[in-house]
Amino acid sequence: MLNPSIFKSYDVRGIYPSELNENAALAVGRAFIKLTGAKNVVVGHDARLSSPALFKAVVQGLLAEGAQVTSIGQTPTEGIYFAVASYNFDAGIMITASHNPKDYNGFKMMTRKGEDIAWVRGKDLLYLAKDEAITENDTPIKELNIWPDYLSFVLKFSGNIKPFTVAIDASNGVMGNVILELEDKLQITILPLNFKPDGNFPNHSPNPLEEGASSQIADVIIKEKADFGFMFDGDADRIFLVDEQGAMVSADIVLLLLAKHFLAKKPGTGIAYNLICSRSVPEFVKEWGGMPVRTQVGFVNVREGLMKNNGVMGGELSAHYCFADYFYCDSGMIAFLTLLQIISTENKPVSEIVKELTIYAKPLQLTFKISDQDAVLQKVKEKYADGKQDFLDGITVEYQDWWFNLRPSNTEPLLKLTIEANTQDLLEQKKQELSECINS
């Protein structure tokens, strides 16, 4: 029996095999064709242990509905975006659970309409998905090697790069092999960490933000005196910059580095950011002559804001960065190559570059398990009625020297709180004050 909980707001995702299994994958494949009418679908997968089995099953579903299927094999998620946008496909499916723990897997789905790539939301498949037995279809599937074309495309973003020594942690995901293809073209010395794809993720979580996940790269940077480093998550659509002292740079500060670079190339254009990023993001974007585009949390929302507002690039606090010149999709690789170029131009240690953009105490994020979310949101709204309030995503309240956002999770009975203040002392004070209000 299909588990309806796997059909999420943005994708299909669940624990394998208790929530998401081969029968569910078959149902997803069939429902995807019924919903989209796609005739020619490209499919790729990440390095998770369950990905080959789910690949086979979802392909059976696609074939059962009469679609032609082409495989690009194991790939970063951005490889699927490139394939859909660059070849004769009208849809794509990526088998991945991104940065989730190893027992998870899922499907990111998209269609192509003209020059645009549109996301297919998991929840839109639910009413079409039927639990059926798998029957083998021996229709052959094609195979496509995208890598020569892909590498040629992304290298346009590399520019002049200095001969740095750079530690790169691929998290035993799917970016290591792609980086190796580029190494001799970048003139940098790479210190590779966890480049071998391994769905057991034996060295640390595929989520670089998990506690302890960045310890390994920090130790290597310091021991080997590397100039800086990067971490990719499991499917490589998120990238994290680590400075020469082994400290991870906040993703909204990295967004500012990228924004300044792209605004210099395309002045006056939009920079999309989600509303839990530092208030320094819209402030600097305005200072640099750009147009800040504030969105709800979630990459899909950032992308929509980018597309609708003459945007050149966008990003969010989870370290997704999307680019108008990459089909308005997110690309860890383009962020990687652009950051190499930016750091080369700045000619300063990364810690000094980012210090100039870090003008407030680092935003704090907390999670509360709350059953009656509406009651808590109303209580907070009333308590902070003297601040500037908006309700784009949950409730945001702004004061002159601090602000916060409190919003419900899309998938769990949780409230997520983000607070930023001008000083660390004020941040700690407001953390205690808001926590007491939410929990009382």
Distances (CA, A) of 192 to 104, 169, 341, 357, 360: 26, 6, 20, 29, 33
Burial track 127-146 (b if 16+ CB lie within 10 A, e otherwise): eebeeeeeeeeeeeeeeeeb
Residue 140, amino acid: P
d(CA 23, CA 28): 9
Q: How many CB atoms lie within 10 A of CB 216?
A: 17
d(CA 393, CA 395): 6
Q: Quick check: helix, strand or coil at residue 26?
A: helix
Q: Quick check: helix, strand or coil at residue 158?
A: coil
- Non-local CB neighbours of 430 within 8 Å, separated by 6+ positions: 402, 404, 419, 421
Here the tokens at position 165 are 């020594």
Q: How many CA atoms lie within 13 A of 274 on its CB side?
A: 24
| Contact in structure between 290 and 271 (CB atoms under 8 Å) | yes
Q: Which of 5, 50, 51, 98 is catalytic?
A: 98
- Non-local CB neighbours of 349 within 8 Å, separated by 6+ positions: 227, 243, 244
98 is catalytic: yes
Q: How far is CA 41 from the centre of its chain?
A: 23
| Contact in structure between 176 and 235 (CB atoms under 8 Å) | no
d(CA 161, CA 342): 8
Does a cis peptide bond (omega within 30 degrees of 0) precede residue 17? yes
Sign of torsion, CA 402 408 411 412?
A: positive
DSSP H or E segment with residue 80 = helix 77-86
**Smallest Cα–Cα separation from 169: which of 210, 221, 245, 230?**
230
Q: What are the catalytic residues?
A: 98
